[in-house]
Chains A and B, each alone.
Chain A
Amino acid sequence: MNASFEEKSVWIQLGAMVLGLGTYFVIAVGMLAAGQRDMSAFAALFIVSVGAMILLMSVAYALVLFAGKPEGRDERDRLIAWKSEHRSSWIIAAGVLGAVSCMTLGVENVWTANLLLLSLMVSEVAGFVLQIVYYRRGV
């Protein structure tokens, strides 16, 4: 793969997040549909998902580092990271606003917590995808 260490790092984080938190949401939707409302059940699932994400990232980073020495971050990497964050951070802001609205309307905490988590995941995934687009198509 003709990519810098920083770009490979973005791919790793994107893959781990989609697999880890994606699995969380697939299971969580099933639990919600089955009437599960106990926050501790969702917290346990979340901890397992985050653990799996960390494990996946550790293995992927180890393989990338084994293949070659990282070059270090330069001005292009910093610009791409800043620009993608600037264009994706509104998603988490919308999620927080939605969560505040849910609390005001008395929606169950389990929905509010999952809405916050979903906005965090979508915001991060959008940021990673934008970074890859900027790396591939130019910034």
Chain B
Amino acid sequence: MATEPLTIHNRIRTLRFEAGEMTQQALADRVGVSRQTINAIEAARYSPSLEVAFRIARAFGKPLDEVFQCLPSPG
């Protein structure tokens, strides 16, 4: 079954800025992961589980699709 390649984008950096320049460590503490994991998610080097994605969205008080977007991969 052929599937279209997708890339997951996120607005975590923007949302941290809007939340009064919330630090990665503060977000990590709220979500229950390490600061390095938040950094990896923010840089799109790691796609989190659905549970962690929901926790991140909840930390910003936003729905999931305002934090993560799934777009077709370029090329």
Cα separation A137 to B28 with both chains bound (whole Å): 20
Interface size on B, residues (CB 8 A): 15
Q: Determine the residue in chain A with the shortest Cβ distance to B45.
A: A138
> Which stretch in A40-48, A68-76, A120-128 binds the other chain?
A68-76
Are B46 and A74 in contact (CB-based, < 8 A)?
no
Return B59 CB to nearest CB of chain A, in Å: 15
Residues of A at the B interface (CB closer than 8 Å) are 2-7, 71-72, 74-77, 135, 137-139
Q: How far is the CB of A127 from chain B (nearest CB, A)?
A: 19
CB pair A138 B34 closer than 8 Å:
no
Q: Are A72 and B52 in contact (CB under 8 A)?
A: no
Chain A proximity of B12: nearest CB distance (Å) = 15
- Docked pose: A6 CA to B52 CA in angstroms: 19
Q: How far is the CB of B47 from chain A (nearest CB, A)?
A: 9
Q: Is the CB of A75 within 8 A of B35?
A: no
Residue of B nearest to A74 (CB): B33
Would you give the shortest CB distance from B40 to chain A, in whole angstroms?
6
Bound CA–CA A77/B8 (angstroms): 20
